[in-house]
Amino acid sequence: MRTKRTNKVLFVGGLSAGILSAAAFLFGLAVGAYRLPPYGLIASARNELTGQHEEAFYNDPLFRKHVSCPEDAVVVFGMGQSNASNTNSSVSSPVYNHPVYNFFEGNCYILQDPVLGADSYGGSIWPHLASELSAFTDKPVVVAVRAKSGSAIGRWLPPSRYTDSVKRELERLAEANLEPELFIWFQGETDAAEGIDTVAYEKSLALLVDTIAPKSTWLVVDTSVCGKVREKYVPLGLARERLMDARSNIIVGPDTDVLGDRFRHDSCHFNWLGKKAVVEGIMETLSGTELLTDPEVGHIRSSEFESKGAL
């Protein structure tokens, strides 16, 4: 009798443990679903059911409650490769001290890492940058992102699923009465590694701008250092400068190549110090533009930003 009772207890205990393990597994799967590259589970299932195969280089809004989009907001559209994506080693919590939002597929969400619209599942520059912009402009800030790690500029040129996805998001923004005041292009490391020449990159970047938003303001981050590329790849910088000289709506900066390994967690992607320095550099680059009319508030000088690379 004692043996039977023990077996029953063991059976019940084992069943309970199995149920708990299964529940824990399902919960973990749900929590981590949006982290599975390149497609989140929900996005993948939706695409299969609807036949829509939009380039899904972004996270699912799983467990994120959409909120009303703000009025009279500063709208920023970020694009590029891994350093525009969720590859930062420092993850930002939801930013509640300033009204900042992440626009994604027609809805607004509280902006937090990992940002919706970019691949990977670490931190990014966007919550920190949006918070700085909101504090400076005294307005809510809405950020839309499309960023894909390792993407060369050629993958963004038409015909391209990347640019098609950007265009669809711009249509959704227009339907929500949100028009981007600023496009930020943070890309070039892959092209530097592949040895693209100045003329080819300049033509490609001009075509990208003309395809997406030819009349809008573009901030083009001056970047090329990553991994085996340990020094600035000059042809990219020349291409950006030439395009800025030819077009009044294009601004180049900051120069992130001056940020050494102290600011990167893997010789390429930024850590907390790097993220902070990049955001400060972007704010400095925007000083004096229509978006930021007071260059004296909340900015570091260019010389201070450049000196960080030697630290």
Average of per-residue pLDDT across 106-134:
95
How many residues are present in the chain? 311
Count of domains for the chain? 2
Each residue's pLDDT tens digit, 140-157: 999 999 999 999 999 999
- Do β-strands 100-104 and 107-110 pair in parallel, antiparallel, or remain unpaired? antiparallel
- 121 and 14 in one domain? no
In a domain, residue 177? The reply is yes
In a domain, residue 53? The reply is no
Which helix (DSSP H) or strand (DSSP E) does residue 109 occupy? strand 107-110
In which band, very low, low, confident or very high, does the pLDDT at 118 lie, cut at 50, 70 and 90?
very high
In a domain, residue 81? The reply is yes
In a domain, residue 48? The reply is no
- 238 and 146 in one domain? yes
The 3-state DSSP class for residue 287 equals strand
% of the chain at pLDDT higher than 70: 75
Each residue's pLDDT tens digit, 279-304: 999 999 999 888 886 444 333 333 33
Torsion of CA 115, 116, 117, 122, to 10 degrees: 40
In which band, very low, low, confident or very high, does the pLDDT at 13 lie, cut at 50, 70 and 90?
very low
In a domain, residue 42? The reply is no
- 84 and 209 in one domain? yes
- 31 and 76 in one domain? no
The 3-state DSSP class for residue 151 equals coil
What range does the domain containing 188 cover? Answer: 61-310
* Cα–Cα distances in angstroms (integers) from residue 146 to residues 23, 32, 241, 302, in the given order: 34, 20, 24, 28
For residues 262 and 129, what is the distance between their CA atoms, to the nearest angstrom? 20
Closest CA to 119 of 223, 40, 29: 40
- Distance between first and last Cα of the chain: 75
In a domain, residue 54? The reply is no
